[in-house]
Amino acid sequence: MKVSYHISDINFVNDKMILSVDKREIVLDIANISKKLLVASDIERSMYKISPSGYGIHWPLIDEDISVNELLKTQK
């Protein structure tokens, strides 16, 4: 099981999250991954921290944590 990822960018367009991870671009429906992110402002969405290992993403302004493994599971 891979627990380390290289996340190079996270963008939001309307209700989609565009995650650039391991040289791939993954588009996810925010409604399927986080109610907090769904209702968050653009500023709240843009203020994230990626864990040093690349395992997870934290949004401090809305107190949301999501593992990259879980994001990748929702994409399949």
- On the 0-12 / 13-18 / 19+ scale of CB atoms within 10 A, 6 is exposed
- Give the residue numbers spanning the domain of 30: 7-75
Q: Is residue 2 assigned to a domain? A: no
Q: Is residue 60 assigned to a domain? A: yes
Number of folded domains in the chain? 1
Q: Is residue 20 assigned to a domain? A: yes
Residue 67: partners with Cβ closer than 8 Å, 6 or more residues away: 55, 56
- Domain CATH code at residue 34: 3.30.2020.40
Q: Is residue 17 assigned to a domain? A: yes
- Alpha-helical (H) ranges within the chain are 35-39, 42-46, 68-75
Predicted local confidence at residue 2, as pLDDT: 54
Q: Is residue 12 assigned to a domain? A: yes
Both tokens of 13, joined, read 């367009």
Task: Find, among 55, 54, 57, the residue nearest to 40 by Cα.
Answer: 57
d(CA 67, CA 62): 16
pTM for this prediction: 0.85
What are the pLDDT tens digits along the chain (76 aa)? Answer: 556 788 889 999 999 999 998 889 999 999 999 999 999 999 999 999 998 877 899 999 999 999 988 888 876 5
Q: Is residue 1 assigned to a domain? A: no
Predicted local confidence at residue 76, as pLDDT: 56
